[in-house]
């Protein structure tokens, strides 16, 4: 399994629109397995391919630390079909170590995606799972959670962003 490095804020790949995955082959399965291992090691809830330097429409979730019966999930070529409601809560990102921000997200999402076995699926997610899905899905479109801040709030965290950049 490839040991991956998580790229941090200001890495150009975090601003790219990622490419769809053409087929679920061994390379994609290996990418998913490595991403899940990287996510576990980093003690995060979600991780997207661009965060490990891969320009593909893939993200993984592992909410087992907050929900005991949660199985790890891989979302390949995801499409958000519907969003509903609103929730505001604190959110972090493995590409912004130590930064936590209050971000508004839909409370419920319907998402279609291809799973690790190559099967196309549709699920409904709520609460924290919906939040994690929206955060990771944004990464595939080059969007980051700091983009939701007002210019004033962005200004307030500029010192923290500089520190993250300097440490990377």
- Full 3-state SS string of 91-143: ECCCCCCCCCEEEEECCEEEEEEECCCCCEEEEEEEHHHHHHHHHHHHHHCCC
Closest approach of Cβ 139 to Zn ion, in Å?
6
Which residues ranging from 49 to 78 are in contact with Zn ion (CB under 5 A)? none
CB 47 within 8 A of CB 63: no
Closest approach of Cβ 154 to Zn ion, in Å?
16
Closest approach of Cβ 95 to Zn ion, in Å?
5
Nearer to Zn ion, 21 or 91 (CB): 91
For tokens 């409370």, name the residue.
Answer: 107
Closest approach of Cβ 92 to Zn ion, in Å?
8
Give the one residue of 21, 32, 36, 93 binding Zn ion; rule: CB under 5 A.
93
How do the residues of the chain divide into helix, strand and coil, expressed in percent and rounded to 5?
A: 35, 25, 40
Contact window for Zn ion (CB under 5 A) among 16-24, 64-72, 89-97, 105-113: 89-97
**C-alpha torsion 90→78→55→48, nearest 10:** 30
Nearer to Zn ion, 31 or 103 (CB): 103
Nearer to Zn ion, 24 or 38 (CB): 38
CB proximity list for 54: less than 8 A, separation 6 or greater: 31
Q: How many CB atoms lie within 10 A of CB 108?
A: 16
19 is catalytic: no
Contact window for Zn ion (CB under 5 A) among 58-66, 87-95, 97-105, 123-131: 87-95
**Residue nearest Zn ion by beta-carbon distance:** 93
Instruction: Point out the catalytic residue in the list 86, 126, 136, 155.
Output: 136
Q: Catalytic residue positions? A: 136
Q: Which residues bind Zn ion (CB under 5 A)?
A: 93
């Amino acid at each position: 399994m490839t040991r991956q490095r998580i790229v941090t804020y200001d890495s150009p790949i975090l601003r790219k629109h990622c490419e769809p995955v053409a087929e679920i082959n061994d390379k994609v399965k290996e990418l998913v397995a490595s991403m899940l291992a990287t996510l576990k090691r980093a003690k995060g809830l979600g991780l997207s391919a661009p965060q490990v330097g891969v320009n593909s429409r893939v993200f993984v979730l592992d909410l087992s630390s907050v929900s005991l019966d949660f199985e790890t999930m891989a979302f390949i070529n995801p499409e958000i079909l519907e969003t509903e409601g609103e929730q505001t809560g604190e959110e972090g990102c493995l590409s912004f170590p130590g930064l936590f921000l209050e971000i508004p997200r839909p409370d419920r999402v319907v998402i279609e995606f291809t799973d690790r076995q190559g099967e196309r699926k549709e699920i409904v997610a709520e609460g924290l799972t919906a939040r994690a899905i929206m955060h990771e899905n944004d990464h595939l479109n080059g969007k980051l959670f700091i983009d939701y801040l007002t210019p004033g709030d962005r200004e307030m965290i500029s010192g923290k962003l500089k520190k993250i950049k300097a440490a990377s």
